[in-house]
Amino acid sequence: MVIDTHVHVFPDNIAKKAGAKLQAVAQIPCHTDLTEADTRIKLKEWGIDLGVVLPIATKPSQQRSINNWAKTVQHGGLISFGSIHPDAEDALSELDTIKEYGLYGVKLHPDYQCFFPDDEKYFPLYEKMAALGLPVAFHTGYDPVSPDVIYAPPERIRALARAIPALKVIGAHLGGHMQYDEVEKYIVGENIYIDISMAPLTCRQEQFERIIKNHGVDKVLFASDCPWTTPGMELQMLRKASLSPEETELILAGNAIKLLNYNV
């Protein structure tokens, strides 16, 4: 089984506009049209059994509509996280809604939401996520949307994870997109899950292998950041790594099943 734990999909009515906007920022090819239908077809073609959608509330007012939509996505090869905007007045109570809806965790994108993840004012949110058993997935490291300020570098993610050890933290992009030396310094060995999305585009094979082995393969999640890479690229990178079949299986699905409490 292969689970892609980092997939972006948009509601049909905004997929086209969102795609054009994101592509202008990312400046790399987009491998789906960002709709649910196309993503389901492509994931299947790429050999992915389950995709985990990670939506992002870029404004406080979007939380509920995003979570209402995320709930409808969860069938036929897709499950979803919910999103809150950390500065929304009702962010705390929206976490109850995410739990009630049966969504699998919370996605936060500090560069789109303009907040520092280790800021203590957000700790009540994290404590509630931990209490509800909701993992939180962060974009980490560089993002072209905010080239001058990196809101979630490895050091801040570590500070947060150490402050709230009961929280299940997922650092996308190996825990620090394009900051892999800092990942080795601050993330490796910590109580943090890392996903391998985008690594084929920006990380050397040798450093990739060193990071996942030293960190512990039981805390590494297969992911692509679809549509910005195709999972085939991450699969190839993972299969090239000198890991046992059991270790590879953990990364491809076993760790995610356990972390997300997913009923296969």
Contacts with Zn ion, residue ranges (CB under 5 A):
225
Here the tokens at position 130 are: 């931990």
User: What residue is closest to Zn ion based on CB?
Assistant: 225
**Which DSSP string corresponds to 18-59?**
HHHHHHHHH-S--SS-SSHHHHHHHHHHTT-SEEEE----SS
Output the smallest distance, CB 6 to Zn ion, in A: 6
* Strand order, beta sheet including 136-138: 82-83, 106-108, 136-138, 169-171, 193-195, 220-221
**Cβ nearer to Zn ion, comparing 197 with 255:** 197
Output the smallest distance, CB 96 to Zn ion, in A: 25
| Angle (deg, nearest 10), helices 91-100 and 63-73 | 10
Output the smallest distance, CB 14 to Zn ion, in A: 17
**Cβ nearer to Zn ion, comparing 55 with 254:** 55
Output the smallest distance, CB 73 to Zn ion, in A: 16
Contact 128/84 with Cβ under 8 angstroms? no
**Cβ nearer to Zn ion, comparing 111 with 225:** 225
C-alpha span between 10 and 57 (Å, rounded): 12
**Cβ nearer to Zn ion, comparing 7 with 243:** 7
